[in-house]
């Protein structure tokens, strides 16, 4: 049972609470630190790609799977608090483990009295946001909620955490506890568990529990809530016009419950909340006045997160190279504003791709030191953050880890832990449980194609085109499908409309895999929605020729309101690209293959709707009318 804490507004604006008592050992470490070491602890750097000679026009950046000498020296000399890895770093298990081991060893070789191991972090949310090239992908948050059992969120997170720890990754920027209460949201969507804060709380806390059980440091995101935006902060600067009281009624509920459950870190959102902090800054790009985003707002981070919600852990910024920050705020001002707001760790303050940008990152570290030396930011303010960081590292045993003499995993041994057959079998089971059969009004399911017949798959996103092929192999192996049945896959778009129409005439069954990424795709008159008109035409042709026409909604679920005339409609609540059949131990996204296998009767559908699906008006805009109501309900004991 999840207990919901009551949030209250403080009587005034305090300067922020101090972290709870820490061990004398941490005070001793801080006392022995130089200013440079303190500044370094507050930075989480990324080394995703590296160009060895940026001055040479023939030199190209390559993925960092082995540690470049310049980066190794920087890790040894700059005392970073952590490093974040991306898919470019994590293609193969053995290489990833060696890369991490070498990073930790280089850090341990630094010239300092008390070595402080690195946080090795990653965005391994499950579903669409995963980085391990040979790991298990798991269904994703909204798909987990569609299973109807919060314990499945814990199961997936425990699996994620164990795989990360096996590689040497000790920090996961998860769970996402944003409430997707705006269907127009272009960046959260299926990364959220639900549009209901109580459901997000139940599944989010269970996910957190799974990471905790695995020994992985967790980070809630994106505070105080990224679910009610219509702009992606990677490319724009979102605004949420809600009061603090309104946030307490929705967005802050899962954050508070997860904080009470022991979350280690909270990641901030680059979002403006003018009804909470109306202070403005002149945008360096547009010259317009913009409000302080949560990342740079002490009213949000100190007064609300620290004082009212009682969070004593580490506050980490979202990536500071995102457009919301980089396009609007001068870099030198961001540093001061973030420190005054209460940021403990700067995530990716300077994207590093070559020696020039590495110099810029080192310049950023020096700028923090200079602020403290000049008194613009008291050194005691740095001490507060470093104390929280070290406390977190101590809690998870990192201060006692030593890497210089660690033996690396035997080659191949990691495949028994990361992307193991047992994990992938469990992933398949959860994906199958998550598929929602929304309608089968003409009783066409399960499909039972006869030998010699053709099933046509039409994909609105060509990056998923191998999904049916993966399912085909499984259906053949299980004896569910005859080898004489043909699966044909095509990309469905305005450019391929004529060829798709001809294929519909020749096929016996038609399945459209719709991957809607924005609400504009619902409107056939818009540039992004041109493909929906093609689907309309193909559906009409299938109907005229009396052929089953089935729709799989494979990403944002709101497209099902657009295709209500399909013979059957299913939802998977997410998918990663699968452009070709996987080789070796490559990670496999299973959401769409699970839905395909369900269509042919491999299992009985049990998935539930975790969000309300709005109806469309005559101009294909989402309305306030609910066409399909949410089916996943919070535990009655929590209400």
pLDDT in tens, 132-154: 999 999 999 999 999 999 999 99
198: pLDDT strictly greater than 80: yes
Q: What is the mean pLDDT of residues 365-378?
A: 97
Residues of the chain within CATH 3.40.50.1700 domain(s) are: 435-638
Partners of 45 in beta bridges: 83
| pLDDT > 90 fraction of the chain, expressed in percent and rounded | 86
Active site residue 440: no
CA of 570: how far to CAs of 184, 207, 236, 630, in Å?
A: 21, 25, 32, 15
* pLDDT at residue 593 in the model: 98
> Residues 496-502: contacts with CB within 8 Å, 24+ apart?
496/534, 497/534, 497/537, 497/538, 500/458, 500/534, 500/538, 501/537, 501/538, 501/541
Partners of 44 in beta bridges: 82, 347
The answer for residues whose C-beta is within 8 angstroms of residue 180's C-beta and 6 or more apart is: 142, 188, 189, 190, 191, 192, 194, 195, 227, 611
Taking only the tens place, the pLDDT of each residue in 150-162 is 999 999 999 999 9
Q: CA-CA distance, 552 to 40, in Å (whole number)? A: 48
312 CB neighbour count, 10 Å cutoff: 12
Secondary-structure percent of the chain, ordered helix, strand, coil, rounded to 5? 40, 15, 45
In this predicted structure, which of 25-34, 73-82, 313-322, 524-533 has the lowest mean pLDDT?
A: 524-533
* pLDDT at residue 228 in the model: 81
* pLDDT at residue 405 in the model: 57
Taking only the tens place, the pLDDT of each residue in 76-112 is 999 999 999 999 999 999 999 999 999 999 999 988 8
Q: What is the mean pLDDT of residues 471-485?
A: 97
pLDDT-based confidence at residue 8 (cuts at 50, 70, 90): very low
- Element at 76 (helix H, strand E): helix 69-78
16: pLDDT strictly greater than 50: no
Residues of the chain within CATH 3.20.20.300 domain(s) are: 34-411
12: pLDDT strictly greater than 50: no
* pLDDT at residue 135 in the model: 97
Q: What is the mean pLDDT of residues 119-135?
A: 98
Q: What is the mean pLDDT of residues 505-526?
A: 94
Say which residue, 202 or 413, is predicted with more confidence. Answer: 202
Q: CA-CA distance, 392 to 22, in Å (whole number)? A: 10
* pLDDT at residue 237 in the model: 83
Chain-wide mean pLDDT for the chain? 93
Helix or strand or coil: residue 295?
helix
Q: CA-CA distance, 581 to 468, in Å (whole number)? A: 10
- Element at 95 (helix H, strand E): helix 93-108
175: pLDDT strictly greater than 70: yes
Instruction: Residue 80: name the closest of 282, 332, 368 by CA.
Output: 368
DSSP string, 464-522: GTTHHHHHHHHHHHTTSS-TTSEEEEEE-SGGGHHHHHHHHHH-SEEEEEE---SGGGG
* pLDDT at residue 234 in the model: 72
Instruction: Residue 299: name the closest of 192, 207, 224, 213 by CA.
Output: 224
* pLDDT at residue 277 in the model: 97
* pLDDT at residue 136 in the model: 98
412: pLDDT strictly greater than 60: no
Say which residue, 264 or 186, is predicted with more confidence. Answer: 264
* pLDDT at residue 13 in the model: 33
Q: What is the mean pLDDT of residues 198-224?
A: 98
CATH architecture of 435-638: 3-Layer(aba) Sandwich (3.40)
The stretches of 321-445 forming alpha helices (DSSP H) are 323-326, 331-341, 355-374, 379-395, 421-434
The active-site residue, picked from 318, 344, 559, 612, is 318
* pLDDT at residue 550 in the model: 98
Domain 34-411, CATH among 3.40.50.620, 1.10.620.20, 3.20.20.300, 1.10.760.10 = 3.20.20.300
In this predicted structure, which of 59-63, 198-202, 215-219, 407-411 has the lowest mean pLDDT?
A: 407-411
Instruction: Residue 388: name the closest of 80, 26, 16 by CA.
Output: 26
Partners of 172 in beta bridges: 122, 218
The active-site residue, picked from 234, 383, 536, 621, is 234
Q: CA-CA distance, 350 to 584, in Å (whole number)? A: 35
Q: Is the peptide bond before 355 cis (omega within 30 degrees of 0)?
A: no
Say which residue, 28 or 410, is predicted with more confidence. Answer: 28
Active site residue 264: no
Instruction: Residue 44: name the closest of 378, 352, 312, 264 by CA.
Output: 352
439: pLDDT strictly greater than 90: yes
* pLDDT at residue 11 in the model: 29
Q: What is the mean pLDDT of residues 357-375?
A: 97
């Amino acid at each position: 049972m999840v207990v919901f804490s009551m949030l209250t507004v403080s009587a005034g604006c305090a300067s922020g609470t101090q972290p709870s008592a820490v061990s004398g050992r941490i005070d001793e470490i801080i006392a022995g630190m130089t200013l440079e070491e303190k500044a370094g602890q507050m930075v989480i750097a990324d080394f995703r790609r590296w160009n060895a000679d940026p001055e040479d026009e023939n030199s190209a950046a390559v993925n960092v799977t082995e540690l470049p000498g310049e980066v190794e020296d920087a890790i040894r000399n700059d005392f970073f608090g952590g490093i974040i890895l991306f898919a470019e770093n994590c293609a193969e298990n053995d290489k990833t483990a060696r890369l991490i081991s070498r990073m930790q060893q280089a850090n341990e070789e630094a010239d300092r009295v008390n070595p402080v191991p690195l946080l090795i972090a990653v965005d391994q949310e499950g579903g669409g946001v995963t980085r391990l090239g040979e790991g298990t992908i798991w269904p994703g948050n909204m798909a987990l909620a569609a299973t109807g059992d919060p314990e499945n969120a814990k199961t997936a997170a425990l699996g994620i955490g164990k795989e990360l720890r096996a590689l040497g990754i000790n920090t996961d920027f998860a769970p996402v506890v944003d409430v997707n209460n705006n269907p127009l949201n272009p960046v959260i969507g299926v990364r959220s568990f639900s549009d209901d804060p109580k459901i997000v709380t139940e599944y989010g806390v269970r996910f957190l529990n799974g990471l905790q059980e695995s020994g992985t440091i967790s980070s809630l995101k994106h505070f105080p809530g990224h679910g009610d935006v219509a702009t992606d902060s990677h490319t724009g600067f979102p605004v949420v016009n809600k009061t603090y009281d309104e946030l307490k009624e929705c967005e802050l509920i899962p954050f508070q419950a997860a904080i009470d459950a022991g979350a280690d870190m909270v990641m901030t959102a680059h979002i403006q909340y003018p009804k909470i902090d109306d202070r403005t800054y002149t945008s360096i790009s547009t010259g317009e006045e913009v409000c302080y985003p949560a990342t740079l707002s002490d009213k949000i981070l100190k007064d609300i997160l620290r004082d009212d919600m009682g969070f004593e852990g580490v506050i980490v910024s979202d990536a500071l190279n995102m457009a919301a920050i980089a396009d609007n705020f001068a870099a030198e001002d961001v540093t001061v504003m973030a420190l005054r707001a209460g940021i403990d760790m700067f995530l990716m303050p300077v994207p590093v791709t070559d020696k020039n940008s590495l110099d810029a990152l080192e310049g950023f570290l020096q700028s923090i030191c200079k602020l403290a030396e000049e008194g613009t930011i008291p050194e005691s303010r740095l001490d507060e953050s470093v104390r929280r960081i070290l406390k977190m590292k101590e809690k998870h045993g990192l201060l006692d880890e030593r890497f210089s003499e660690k033996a690396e995993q035997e080659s191949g041994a990691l495949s028994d832990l990361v992307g193991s057959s047992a994990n992938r079998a469990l992933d398949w089971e959860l994906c199958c449980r998550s598929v929602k059969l929304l309608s089968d009004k003409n009783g066409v399911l399960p499909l039972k194609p006869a030998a010699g017949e053709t099933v046509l798959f039409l994909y609105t996103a060509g990056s998923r085109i191998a999904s049916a092929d993966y399912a085909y192999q499984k259906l053949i192996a299980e004896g569910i499908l005859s080898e004489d049945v043909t699966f044909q896959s095509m990309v469905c778009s305005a450019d391929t409309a004529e060829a798709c129409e001809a294929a519909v005439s020749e096929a016996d069954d038609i399945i459209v895999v719709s991957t809607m990424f924005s609400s504009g795709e619902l409107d056939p008159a818009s540039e992004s929605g041109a493909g929906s008109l093609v689907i309309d035409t193909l559906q009409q042709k299938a109907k005229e020729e009396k052929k089953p026409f089935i729709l799989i909604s494979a990403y944002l679920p709101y497209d099902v309101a657009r295709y209500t005339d399909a013979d059957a409609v299913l939802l998977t609540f997410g998918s990663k690209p699968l452009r070709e059949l996987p080789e070796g131990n490559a990670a496999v996204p299973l959401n769409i293959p699970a839905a395909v296998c369900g269509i042919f009767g491999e299992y009985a559908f049990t998935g539930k709707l975790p969000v309300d699906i709005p109806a469309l008006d005559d101009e294909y805009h989402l309305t306030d009318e609910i066409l399909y109501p949410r089916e996943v309900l919070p535990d009655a004991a929590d209400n």
